[in-house]
Structure 1
């Protein structure tokens, strides 16, 4: 990107911004809750055009969902009090050139609202807002939203794998739904050491379900790194030990996170207190693991995006690398991106989008040539 580079964030602020827009957090504080949807349940709702700029506002966190290079949604939240404030949902059909506002309101759990924002396809989406938490569901791409109940007054995570099957984690309890959130069934409590770290806004610390049966949880505990897998929709969990990073010693608390790879396989992140974190992949349900090769520069881990379970993209200090063998080898592609923390999402072999975080706010950028060049797009402006 050829425009002048914005001021870089401090490492602490970068981490807070990117993880806040991707992660799960416990609810703190209380407030009166109100919601003013635009045309909610109205048969002839008309979306409202939103103003745009290249930067989101510095005090606003934005989470994006794109189904294609043209169709996507944005959730913006502004913290006016501790973990609470107004939110806005927007939709674009022209690759973020223009945005239309679909839903506005207040929430007392900004980070849970950000983490729960999910579109499964062009029509079905979910978001958790309010105090007590309410689940809102759309079946028409966000034009109308239906308010549904949740079984507990606060929580860590809400996630769906399809329009019917979802899970709600309110530690230490877990519920599931098989009818799109109309009703919820309490499941046995997950393992004690699978609890998310309080205020650790980290995408590796999520409740993960790939299908209505296959689920994964990370862990926070002493001893050998491990994650948990479920083959029955969260009714039971099995411990799956993960190797220690090369040269690391199992001492103190180890945080081990997990993500599902597209199609098949999982990737785990092991974070020892005495050495850099390391990544491991498993394609046999966690029975065996292979360590991911660090990038050739600095040996660090950047932000990963997955085209499929073998073709990966990774941004590290403004440089883009790609792997075609599940992270065993890496090829340098470009240095087009600024040296900012980025959230990377792959649409196909040529199209991807990244969210970069600066002191001035976050920036949304797209590539249409496999990462060689990136173009900044408009960010919706809450009003």
Structure 2
């Protein structure tokens, strides 16, 4: 969402849009599956499909195919109509809460012409996610943690800013990141040994880029590593949306309970507040909140339908705005 009424969502082989925050229409359909969307204004945005990258400069009235590096783009993050970063290539990509995350062998790429052309950028090996708030400095998520990446006239340099607290060799692990300001970042570490309907995750936040706060965790699998850290919304990694440097909203995945619990983290993660839940929502794909009260969540219900649910009161109450049966994809 780029405001309280205007936004885009992807799923079921299509791009959907709303102009009033309540009613959604299909704007573009494809034989490809769309895995992510990134808008920087009311007119300019990008949509990532499994085999291509699309762009628009007219609010989605027309979408056109953009260039790609030798390997397919997995995710993008733009800060202007021309400047953006992405993750390209890699093996065995998995769709995880709005990101298409490769297992390994991916490449960090950069564009200065809105995605028409891309070039490789030096960075940590096996990058998974990338986020910039300004041209000179950004963040890269990798299995082992979060890297601070600085751009210079001579190229780029990087350093490990936040090591993952529960690294496990030989076990797939993922780092999702979302920035809110040049030095503010929210992180979700997920993956590891799962058991008894519990899948490990830990969320962190920083408002200054140096001091990190452990915000929440999956209580059973991470208890010995991070005692005293509050439990997250459910037993599987949540979708999350960063509102500003100090506030974020987490929507839990609860396949065992068939609900998606809403948790609001405030004050840089120092305050955790559980609100309401989305019923008949065992799986979430992505969340987008424009404030700690107004937000939208893309879920899948028990029948397999793709559903957009919305709240105007911080997750205490939810309404269904769109439901697409899986058979209507494309």
Same fold (TM over 0.5): yes
Residues 305-364 of structure 1 show CA distances to partners (whole Å, capped at 9, x for unaligned) of 332222233334543332322222322323464452333321123311122222321221
Contact preservation (8 Å) 1:311, 1:323: yes
Q: TM-score, normalised by structure 1?
A: 0.62
| SS across alignment from 1:326 | helix
The residue that corresponds to 2:43 in the other structure is 123
Runs of 5+ consecutive residues of structure 1 not aligned to the other structure = 1-65, 78-86, 197-205
The residue that corresponds to 1:226 in the other structure is 145
- Pick the structure with more helix per residue: 1
**Aligned with residue 272 of structure 2, among 325, 330, 336:** 330
Runs of 5+ consecutive residues of structure 2 not aligned to the other structure = 90-105, 195-199, 216-228, 255-259
**Aligned with residue 177 of structure 1, among 111, 121, 125:** 111
Aligned Cα root-mean-square deviation (Å): 3.3
- Structure number with greater CO (CA < 8 Å, separation at least 6) is 1
The 2-side partners of 1:151 and 1:244 are apart by 29
Based on CA coordinates, which of the two structures has the bigger radius of gyration? 1
The residue that corresponds to 1:80 in the other structure is none
Q: How does 1:1-383 map to 2 (within 5 A)?
A: 66-77=1-12, 87-99=13-25, 101-107=26-32, 110=33, 113-115=34-36, 117-129=37-49, 133=52, 135-171=53-89, 172-188=106-122, 190-192=123-125, 194-196=126-128, 206-220=129-143, 225-232=144-151, 235-242=155-162, 245=165, 251-253=168-170, 255=173, 257-263=175-181, 264-271=183-190, 273=192, 276-285=200-209, 287-292=210-215, 293-295=229-231, 302-316=238-252, 317=254, 318-335=260-277, 337-338=279-280, 340-342=282-284, 343-360=286-303, 361-379=305-323, 382=329
Shift of 1:181: 2.4
| SS across alignment from 1:377 | strand
Q: TM-score, normalised by structure 2?
A: 0.71
Q: 1:290 to 1:256 in 2, by over 3 A?
A: farther
Contact preservation (8 Å) 2:179, 2:185: yes
| SS across alignment from 2:35 | helix
Alignment coverage as a number of residue pairs = 282
- Pick the structure with more strand per residue: 2
